[in-house]
């Protein structure tokens, strides 16, 4: 763990100065509420920035990206259109072509029946950006490795190679064991996907990708599938017929073991979701204090706190990626471990 923190400190020091000013510069003080006569609603602003949406609002007066809406229903078939159609010139939600947008869910206007929503929402767009960034960076790293084979790494390769080696030697290999090479590509992808998603989520106007429970649940489900598909005879034997335990106790242990299979991915899901979402809410809450109290002094104090919390959030971004991969490796390693039971 200390080695990981050392790597973060050395390799991400350049990011600190950049991210320090993000909450101050990137948060739109006016947002969509400041130009109106309505009182400032902090909870509405926070939820708007934390939750998913069919539009991507970056700043006022032209800073809104209207994302594609893709919906399917048995009554109307497949429809594709811009989310701009759901809003009038005053940005009020309106019905369009038989569809209505209600609390960010799309329904048929006549029956209010939910449709299959395959839209490119803000978090889906962030997912594509995250994936594209991963491909661009690690294709460049792979190219650098081929070019500098047998030599000291240079450029972007020298930046990421210590982190890759750390994930391999300090997380994956000790916890999975001698079969770790089979799972290393997945673990590295998992680590950098979460790390990049956490860091990108701190950018002004960015989507809360890793703070979306659907995303964390999908990542946990992948670990769950890989773990149980690779479980050996000893793994399933300890679940269904725990050795060395009297028969009456097995009736108690069996349901506990079965529940334990599902609590592992649930814990992975909730841990990442809560840690990232809570951090965003704390930052936005501190920023909102300046607009609630309308005080320069409160604004100055909250700015100092936001800068401090931002540094902590950078550390949390790395720690959460580390913890998710650590427990994923541990679960897979436990499922593949050979047991020498003595009766």
pLDDT tens per residue, range 241-258: 877 778 788 888 889 889
More confident site: 48 or 266? 266
Q: What is the pLDDT of residue 243?
A: 79
Pick the closest to residue 129 from 70, 55, 196 (CA basis).
196
Report pTM.
Answer: 0.84
Pick the closest to residue 126 from 22, 49, 46, 221 (CA basis).
Answer: 49
Check if the beta carbon of residue 84 is closer than 8 Å to that of residue 130: no
Same domain, yes or no, for 136 and 239? yes
Looking at the fold, whether 108 and 229 belong to one and the same domain comes out as no
Q: Please indicate, yes or no, whether residues 234 and 319 belong to a single structural domain of this protein.
A: yes
Confidence of residue 38 (pLDDT cuts 50, 70, 90): low
CA-based nearest residue to 122, from 18, 192, 211:
211
pLDDT of residue 297: 87
Average pLDDT estimate for 79-108:
90
Q: What is the number of domains present in the chain?
A: 2
pLDDT in tens, 185-198: 999 999 999 999 99
pLDDT of residue 339 exceeding 80? no
102 with 230, same domain: the answer is no
- Cβ(214)–Cβ(277) under 8 Å? no
Is residue 2 pLDDT above 60, yes or no? no
Whether 85 has a pLDDT exceeding 60, the answer reads: yes
Whole-angstrom Cα distance, residue 272 to residue 201? 13
- 282: which 2 tokens? 């704390």
pLDDT of residue 61: 72
pLDDT band at 34 (very low <50, low <70, confident <90, very high): very low
pLDDT at position 16 over 60: no
Mean pLDDT of the chain: 85
CA distance linking residue 330 with residue 264, whole number of Å: 11
122 HSE (CA, 13 A, CB side): 24
Same-domain check for residues 162 and 93: no
The answer to whether the CB of 240 falls within 8 A of the CB of 231 is no
Do 145 and 255 have their domain in common?
Answer: yes
Q: Where are the alpha helices (DSSP H) in the chain?
A: 2-11, 13-20, 22-26, 42-50, 122-147, 155-166, 173-176, 180-200, 213-229, 233-240, 247-293, 296-336
- Based on the domain organization, do 296 and 327 belong to the same domain? yes
Q: Are residues 269 and 317 in the same domain?
A: yes
């Amino acid at each position: 763990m200390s080695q990981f923190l050392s790597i973060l400190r050395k390799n991400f020091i350049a990011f600190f100065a950049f991210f320090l000013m993000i909450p101050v510069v990137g948060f739109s003080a006016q947002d969509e509420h400041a130009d109106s006569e309505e009182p400032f609603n902090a909870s509405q602003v926070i939820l708007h920035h934390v939750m998913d949406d069919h539009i991507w609002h970056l700043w006022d007066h032209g800073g809104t990206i209207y994302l594609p809406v893709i919906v399917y229903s048995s009554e109307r078939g497949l429809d594709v259109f811009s989310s701009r159609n759901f809003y009038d010139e005053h940005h009020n939600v309106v019905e369009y072509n038989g569809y209505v947008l209600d609390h960010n869910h799309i329904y048929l206007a006549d029956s209010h029946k939910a449709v299959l929503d395959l839209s490119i929402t803000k978090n889906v767009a962030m997912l594509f950006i995250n994936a594209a960034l991963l491909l661009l960076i690690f294709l460049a790293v792979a190219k650098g490795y081929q070019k500098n084979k047998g030599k000291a790494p240079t450029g972007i390769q020298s930046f990421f190679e210590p982190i890759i080696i750390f994930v391999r030697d300090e997380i994956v290999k000790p916890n999975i064991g001698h079969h770790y090479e089979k799972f290393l590509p997945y673990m590295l992808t998992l680590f950098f996907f979460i790390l990049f998603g956490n860091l990108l989520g701190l950018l002004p106007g960015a989507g809360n990708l890793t703070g979306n429970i659907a995303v964390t649940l999908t990542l946990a489900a992948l670990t769950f599938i890989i773990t149980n598909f690779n479980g050996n005879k000893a793994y399933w034997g300890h679940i269904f017929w725990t050795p060395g335990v009297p028969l009456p106790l097995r009736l108690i242990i069996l349901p506990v073991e079965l529940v334990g299979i599902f609590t592992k991915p649930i814990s992975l899901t909730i841990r990442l979701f809560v840690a990232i979402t809570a951090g965003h809410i704390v930052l936005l809450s501190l920023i909102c204090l300046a607009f609630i109290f309308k005080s320069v002094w409160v604004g100055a104090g909250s700015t100092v706190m936001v800068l401090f919390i931002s540094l902590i959030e950078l550390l949390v971004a790395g720690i959460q990626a580390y913890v998710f991969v650590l427990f994923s490796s541990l679960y897979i390693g436990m499922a593949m471990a050979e047991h020498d039971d003595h009766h």
